[in-house]
Amino acid sequence: MNLRSENVTKGVERAPNRSLFYAMGYTKEELERPLIGVISAHSEIVPGHFHLDKIADAVKAGVRMAGGTPILMPAIGVCDGIAMGHIGMKYSLASRELIADSVETMAMAHQLDGLVLVPNCDKIVPGMVMAAVRLNLPAVVCSGGPMMAGLYEGEEVSLSKIFEAVGARKAGMIDDDQLAEYEHGVCPGCGSCAGMYTANSMNCLCEAIGIALPGNGTIPAVHAARTQLAKKAGMAIMELVRRDIKARDIINPVSIRNALACDMALGCSSNSVLHLLAIANEAGCPLDLKMFNEMSEKTPNLCHLAPAGPTHMQDLFLAGGVAAVQTELAKGGHLDLTALTATGKTLGENIAGVKNKNTAAIRPIENPYSETGGIQILWGNIAKDGCVVKRSAVAPEMLTHTGPARVFDSEEEAIASIYAGKIVDGDVVVIRYEGPKGGPGMREMLNPTSALAGMKLDKTVALITDGRFSGASRGASIGHVCPEAASGGEIGLLCEGDLIEIDIPNAKINAKVTDEEFAARRAAQTPREPNIKTGWLARYARLVSGANEGAVMR
């Protein structure tokens, strides 16, 4: 093996470097083995990360069993649920870039031979994967696993239900005692929140794209199998180092298309679009929004996990997990089974013999929820560079809709109007200046969408934003509108009462406003001052690309 770590451990001139390792208690024997970075996002502020110290310990045990020297290093992580609905959410998407940069920094500064990445929640997973393909080192992702679903009056529930309960309480549909029962029941323990929200979407897609071992996406956080998986991840990285299998050997155009197919079948979060674009960008693989629709048109939707349906991650796990979904997709020829994975084997070898154990959780490919995938990209005169909707979470009656625009220049303005009962059946709520630049940080709009759902308006009211939505959002929630308002997009030119036409099946979204009228409005428009002028977010706003390019920094 040619080890990068020899740049810091071998030769007379590296005696000072070795002395610093010895200061930490490392032995000569440990320095003669491959040095494996175990990048853990453990903290005491994120439920999905609260137990990652145990997962990282298991990874380290696996590395040692396979002949390597594990070295624990930290990564930051934002809890999107705690950050939701206030200025904190501006930092969430932006943190993905900090995570990628910090993993790159630690790996390069210390010349590590391989990485086991231990994330769990929304931006931490893609941030770490972006770093892996940027560095092109041997790498394995081992997440912390999903939370078990909670219970409310005998019904399985998860985080989206408490956000919707707030809307129901505001509308007087439930009382304080019922709200408190939701509050204490929806999140019963550690793990990434139990629906097919962004965290679980990305952990499943890590498995689908091959950078994580089978089971990564669905083994519950509290199961012993999760600890066993972590040990296997530690052993797997040593095999990848020995065989010199790097991140870009695994993540490439073939595996990205496999991940897109799984994305459509699973009904993943609309945020998966942002993150797959960003990962593909780092991997040097062309990917644009048109490819999402191309895959959606021919890939059936097989799963309706919360918020699209009543099932949760534990149900998907018991049905056979991502591998069972891949088995169904393989029947229809939707996957390239020759793709190399982190097991050192091909995808076809990984899923050989896997069966779908619960056709209620994973529909057979012969009987899908729909013949088209869970994600749809729309274009039109208010989204010339595209926008995104989680089609599988939209009620059939809202797949086409025409209604008057109710225009708001921030999430706070919109949620105040929704809570005050000023949004009515047929309205199209427009929230702008919340994009990557305009926010800055492209906040998630779970509070407005959940308030509408809790008030029973999710089947009559649409919501459009240049921000984005949580994977926990449901209804006709259309995000990532590009160009965003802060970049001169037409969404910034909409006026109260403009009629908006939404046609999800035909991938269209338009305002009934002429080009001439838009031009006149643009000429009369006064430029807006940036929302934030100092600190990290001001720099992010200057450098970030549009959502149609993954909101990556240039």
- Whose CA is closest to 5, among 102, 107, 101? 107
- CA torsion angle for 380, 384, 388, 392 (degrees, to 10)? 20
What is the DSSP pairing of strand 462-465 with strand 428-431? Answer: parallel
Name the strand (E) or helix (H) holding 415. helix 411-419
SS3 content of the chain, % helix, strand, coil (to 5): 45, 15, 40
**If DSSP codes are grouped into helix, strand and coil, which group holds residue 209?**
helix
Is 95 annotated in the active site?
no
- Whose CA is closest to 267, among 198, 214, 221? 198
Point out which residues pair with 401 in neighbouring strands: 502
What tokens does 427 get? 């309205």
The one-letter amino acid code at 46 reads V
The one-letter amino acid code at 180 reads A
Q: Alpha-carbon Rg of the chain, whole angstroms?
A: 23
Which residue out of 95, 158, 470, 545 is catalytically annotated? 470
Name the strand (E) or helix (H) holding 467. none
The one-letter amino acid code at 256 reads I
- Whose CA is closest to 346, among 214, 241, 197, 442? 214
Query: What are the start-end ranges of the H helices in 244-361?
Result: 247-250, 253-266, 271-283, 289-298, 313-318, 321-331, 347-351
Q: Rounded to an integer, what distance in angstroms lies between the CA atom of residue 280 and that of residue 270?
A: 16
**If DSSP codes are grouped into helix, strand and coil, which group holds residue 531?**
coil
- Treating both helix axes as pointing N-terminal to C-terminal, what angle do 198-209 and 253-266 enclose, rounded to 10 degrees? 140
Q: Rounded to an integer, what distance in angstroms lies between the CA atom of residue 422 and that of residue 496?
A: 13
CB contact set of 3 (below 8 Å; sequence gap of 6+): 34, 35, 113, 241
CB contact set of 292 (below 8 Å; sequence gap of 6+): 260, 273, 375, 377, 388
Q: Rounded to an integer, what distance in angstroms lies between the CA atom of residue 420 and that of residue 350?
A: 53
What tokens does 78 get? 């934002």
Residue 540 phi/psi, 5° resolution?
Answer: -60, -45
Q: Rounded to an integer, what distance in angstroms lies between the CA atom of residue 266 and that of residue 392?
A: 9
Q: Rounded to an integer, what distance in angstroms lies between the CA atom of residue 39 and that of residue 51?
A: 14
Q: Rounded to an integer, what distance in angstroms lies between the CA atom of residue 63 and that of residue 55?
A: 13
Residues marked active site are found at 470
